Amino acid sequence: MLPKFVKKDFCGANNVEQQDKGVGETQKDINVGTTKKVNTSEKNPRKGIKVGDKKEKTKAVGTKLERRKARLKNLKCPWLTSNPNLPTKAVKAQSEANFNLNVSRYKAYRALREAQTKLQGDYMDQYLHLRDYIKELQGSNPNTTVRVLTGNQDPNAEAVQFKRIYICLGGLKQGFKELGRDLIGVDGVFMKAPAHGQLLTAVGIDSNNGIYPLAYAMVEQENYNAWCWFFDCLRDDLEMDRTSNFTFMSDRQKGLIHVVEKVFPCAEHRFCLRHIHENMKKKWGGLVYKKQLWKCASATTVPQFEKAMLEMKGLNAACWKYLADIQPKHWARSHFTGRALSDVLLNNMCEVLNKCLLEARDKPIITALEYVREYLMRRIAVVKVKFSKADGHLTPTVTKLFETIKEAASQYTVIWGGDDQYQVSGPHND
């Protein structure tokens, strides 16, 4: 039978019995069975302490634990809490380099979560304070619309399940009404928080051809019911009805086409050309097809559009059939009504806003909503400063565009034909 102290060896203990033995005492060698002398007063090179001295050993072990606790405390507080967005691999590398600690990926992940909770708040706890946040938001931003939809409508229920929240700030609402450009782009992106969900946004175009965020909402998922609810809230805020001649632009999301037809049957619905090309290039890829698609979409007259479509048919009849099945009023500039006072073909305004709100998508709900509000506040302030530095009555972008148009118009001649009739001819007889 093996000695009892052999089991301690597998637990990382010393290879000697935990008894008080004098200098020069004899012990049996475990491996061979012979005897040899062990000088227990010598220092163990692995521990760096005297094995035979119990007091010094206990003191040294306690000091080691204290040192490790101090290093773990330093690991979490000074640099980790100030950089909660560090990747897990970076936390492992920093702990090994600065503190000589070899932590696992899961421990590094837990340290990151603890730092994020301290700085951003707890994911589940913030739902308990959501109504308080809404009161503060509406109190500090007059005429702000906030709507919350819960899953359990029973007022006597002990718990209420959160489903959706819609926010339209009062200042942005009033500014969009005075803007006079009836064009709204809508889009949805995934949230990365533990509760998941979708962030829906409605974005317009300002007088400088820049983005003008109008409203945003957090919903459980992007489907027909969620979009219907979002458009109903938007309709009430903008005081629109079913006969409103607004123009909406989307990426042809699932269910969104039918939502626009239901809520705004008289509205114009444009499709983002980039997403049409993304679907088209799965079968007909290449630069030639892309250029021809843009030539068809950017044609300003119906004859030019038909000519470009015939050229596409000459390239590939199947690709022409794919585009012909999509009504040109949704994607061709020559068939737009012109009510929106804009000929944009891409839903870039939503893509730009989604990129700016990327860091908010993995935060708790109140922290994420505050991130969006603060970004909108900063953007409006920056745009005001930019407009104040412009010369003349036009915005900077419109001024450059107007100068380009004037330079091109100088090549045309105008002959008066009486009353309000004129003949305009250009250098190329167009």
Instruction: Write out the E strands in 35-93.
Output: 35-37
Instruction: Write down the pLDDT at residue 108.
Output: 76
* 117-163 tens-digit pLDDT: 666 667 788 888 899 999 999 999 999 999 999 876 666 767 778 89
Q: What is the mean pLDDT of residues 385-411?
A: 87
Rounded Cα–Cα distance for residues 400 and 362 (Å): 39
Same domain, residue pair 205 and 253: yes
Instruction: Write down the pLDDT at residue 53.
Output: 44
Same domain, residue pair 237 and 357: yes
Instruction: Write down the pLDDT at residue 106.
Output: 75
Same domain, residue pair 130 and 96: no
Same domain, residue pair 67 and 139: no
Instruction: Write down the pLDDT at residue 161.
Output: 82
Rounded Cα–Cα distance for residues 374 and 379 (Å): 9
Same domain, residue pair 72 and 141: no
Instruction: Write down the pLDDT at residue 128.
Output: 86
Please give the helix or strand (H or E) that residue 119 lies within, else none. helix 105-120
Cβ atoms of 332 and 293 within 8 Å: the answer is: no
Q: What is the mean pLDDT of residues 350-358?
A: 91
User: Which range (13-17, 73-77, 300-304) has the least confidence?
Assistant: 13-17
Q: Calculate the average pLDDT of the chain.
A: 79
pLDDT interval class at 48 (50, 70, 90): very low
Instruction: Write down the pLDDT at residue 64.
Output: 57
The yes-or-no verdict on residue 40 having pLDDT over 50 is: no
In a domain, 307, yes or no: no
- Find how far residue 106's CA is from the centre of its chain: 25
The number of folded domains in the chain is 4
Q: What is the mean pLDDT of residues 356-378?
A: 91
Same domain, residue pair 188 and 255: yes
Instruction: Write down the pLDDT at residue 36.
Output: 41
Same domain, residue pair 376 and 237: yes
What's 325's DSSP letter?
Answer: T
The yes-or-no verdict on residue 401 having pLDDT over 70 is: yes
* 232-264 tens-digit pLDDT: 999 999 998 888 888 999 988 767 889 999 999
* 270-299 tens-digit pLDDT: 999 999 999 999 999 899 999 999 999 999
Domain of residue 163 covers 126-272+346-383
Q: Which two tokens stand for residue 377?
A: 């506040």
Q: What is the mean pLDDT of residues 320-340?
A: 92
In a domain, 93, yes or no: yes
Instruction: Write down the pLDDT at residue 333.
Output: 94
In a domain, 298, yes or no: no
Q: What is the mean pLDDT of residues 156-178?
A: 88
Same domain, residue pair 2 and 91: no
**Inter-axis angle of helices 88-99 and 54-76, to 10 degrees?**
140
In a domain, 225, yes or no: yes
Same domain, residue pair 223 and 366: yes
Same domain, residue pair 156 and 245: yes
